[in-house]
Amino acid sequence: MTSREKLLDHLGRRRVVVTGIGVTTPAGCDLDTFTDTVMAGAPTAGPITRFDPTGLPTRFACQVSGFRPERYLSGKDLRRADLFAQYALCAALDAHADAGEPPSDPTRSGIVCGSSFGGAHSYTLQALNCLDRGPEEVSPLTTTLLIPNSAAAFIGMKLAWHGPSTTLSTACASGIDAISTGVGLIRDGRCDLVLAGATDSAGVTLLMMAAFCQSDALSTRNDDVATASRPFSVGRDGYVMGEGSAFLALEPLDDALARGARIYAEIAGTAQSTDSHHLTAPNPAGTWVTACMNTALADAGLTPGDIGSVNAHGPSTPLGDAMETRALLATFHGTPPPVTSSKSVFGHLMGASGAAEAAVAALTAFRGLVPPTAGHDKLADDCAGLDVVTGRPRDTGGRPVLSNSFGLGGQNSCIVLTPPGWSPLS
């Protein structure tokens, strides 16, 4: 095999690697804190402090703390950017810095951002302004505050990039879909550097908390918030709402090697599928989730036996965890590898969850350690057959990681990350 062939995957495409990670999450707003919190399996749920939750069945969430947007945004820009865009800008620029701010052609540098809700917080405030005080009191900045692509726009303006800038919304699959889209831009030769991730802040607002409480999606363990999120465990009663953003810096393997970049992981395979079953409930058999995982493995040129661990969607809902268990058992022929759920630590970040979990998966591939699942007590009967990592990180010997995200409307997305230097071609 020639050196050139080693730079291409099994389908002759440019191999894509992660060289930078940036996070703005309840588990930390810098990579070191985020890594320590996740690897310790330390839950971040606590009483809601952003608004008065009196009257809600759920009065706790995972909130971002220690966020310093002034690092990148002036006072004027802060007024023009909804919180979801602020989260994204800081995470994306941190990922770029973590990658060493690689030199790039601005016309071949791209941004892909996912979000479930965009500037929903600003939309709500301005709608109330309009109704309560009259249309003349609506801010002239309303449009730019709420449009979902404002996050990507701020990132592009800060970096003066002129390549593709794409915003997508596929509910809770948005994060992996954004990363998959970024991988495609590099594989297809359109970009040499992509910042890909997702962001959401709408979840920890009175309106959205009320909406999710009304749909019985959230845990109501107000007296035991530390173990309220208990994926795959007995007694699970819903997820814990979160917020935040995560971005990955993606480059072709050859460029990363040429500049001596640190490589966290290679993104070897991606896939999407759709249940077409129900707007909120998953297909209980997990048929199309199984198909999605198998397609991601095929895209990576791997077999189920190659996978060392799974970063599960694992929302801690009765239906969701049971469905994912069935799909994992089918994909891995009855014996799935060790499984973890990062939502147990930093909550469900909505559209950003898949991006944050992909960051965890990249760290798992890089370190060879699977972080523990917080809150998990005893494996539920409808999740029998899973090996859920608890207590402390599990050493898997540096093997590929599969990460799953499933969104409302039956959106399924999977991504496969391999450790640096690990490849069936090497």
Q: Find the mean pLDDT for residues 204-215.
A: 94
Domain boundaries, the chain: 3-258, 268-418
pLDDT score at 4 = 58
According to the model, what pLDDT value does residue 424 have?
52
Q: What is the mean pLDDT of residues 170-185?
A: 98
Phi, psi of 43, deg, nearest 5: -65, 145
Burial 266-293 (b: 16+ CB within 10 A, else e): bbbbbbbbbbeeeeeebbeebbbbbbbb
Q: What is the pLDDT of residue 426?
A: 43
Catalytically active residues, by annotation? 172, 313, 348
When pLDDT is averaged across residues 295-318 and rounded to a whole number, the result is 97
Residue 425 pLDDT > 50, yes or no? no
Task: Summarize the chain as % helix, strand, coil (round to 5).
Answer: 40, 20, 40
Task: Check pLDDT > 60 for residue 194.
Answer: yes
Please, which residues have CB within 8 angstroms of residue 135's CB and are 6 or more apart in sequence? none
Which two three-digit tokens encode residue 58?
């759920």
One-character DSSP codes across 343-394: HHHH-B-GGGHHHHHHHHHHHHHHHTEEPPPTT--SB-GGGTT--B--SS-E
Reduced to 3 states (helix: H, G, I; strand: E, B; else coil), residue 23 is strand
Alpha carbons 390 and 394: distance in angstroms, whole number: 8
> How many residues are listed for the chain in this entry?
426
Banded pLDDT at 397 (limits 50, 70, 90): confident
Pick the CATH number of 268-418 from 3.80.30.20, 3.40.47.10, 1.10.260.30, 3.30.70.120: 3.40.47.10
C-alpha span between 312 and 327 (Å, rounded):
11
How sure is the predictor about 219, in pLDDT bands with cuts at 50, 70 and 90? very high
Looking at residue 123, its pLDDT comes to 87
Is 268-418 in the same CATH topology as 3-258? Answer: yes
Tell me what pLDDT residue 280 has: 84
Nearest residue to 59 (alpha-carbon basis) of 215, 201, 206: 206
φ, ψ at 322 (rounded to 5°): -65, -40
| pLDDT tens-digit readout, 261-306 | 999 999 999 999 999 999 888 899 999 999 999 999 999 999 999 9
Find which of 139-143, 251-255, 396-400 is predicted with most confidence, using mean pLDDT: 251-255
Per-residue burial over 347-366, b = 16 or more CB atoms within 10 Å of its CB, e = otherwise: bbbbbbbbbbbbbbbbbbbb
CA distances from 410 to 29, 172, 216, 392 (A): 30, 10, 18, 33
pLDDT digits (tens, 9 = 90+) for 122-157: 988 889 889 999 999 899 999 999 999 999 999 999
Q: How far is CA 267 from the centre of its chain?
A: 14
Which pLDDT tens digit goes with each residue over 334-379? 999 999 999 999 999 999 999 999 999 999 999 999 999 999 999 9
85, 151 contact by CB (below 8 A): yes
- pLDDT at residue 402 greater than cutoff 60: yes
Mean pLDDT score across all residues of the chain:
95
How confident is the model over 33-42, as pLDDT tens digits? 999 999 999 9
Predicted confidence at residue 279, as pLDDT, reads 87
Residue 182 has pLDDT above 90, yes or no: yes
Q: Dmax over Cα atoms in the chain, in whole Å? A: 71
Q: Quick one: CATH architecture of 3-258?
A: 3-Layer(aba) Sandwich (3.40)
> pLDDT band at residue 120, thresholds of 50, 70 and 90?
confident
Phi, psi of 327 (to 5 degrees): -65, -40
| H or E element in which residue 273 lies | strand 265-274
- Looking at residue 423, what is its pLDDT? 61
Q: How confident is the model at residue 1 (pLDDT cuts 50, 70, 90)?
A: very low
Confidence grade of residue 112 (pLDDT, cut at 50, 70, 90): very high
Write out the DSSP string of 64-77. Answer: --S--GGGT--HHH
Would residue 350 be called left, alpha or beta, if left means φ above 0 and alpha means ψ between -120 and 50 degrees? Answer: left
Percent of the chain with pLDDT over 70: 98
Output the CA torsion sign for 26, 171, 271, 374. Answer: positive
Is-contact 27 44, C-beta < 8 A? yes
The H or E element that residue 167 is part of is strand 165-168
Burial of 160 (0-12, 13-18, 19+ CB in 10 A): exposed
Q: How far is CA 329 from CA 118, 303, 324, in A?
A: 35, 14, 9
Q: CA-CA distance, 35 to 198, in Å (whole number)?
A: 18
d(CA 63, CA 47): 9
Q: Output the pLDDT for position 17.
A: 98
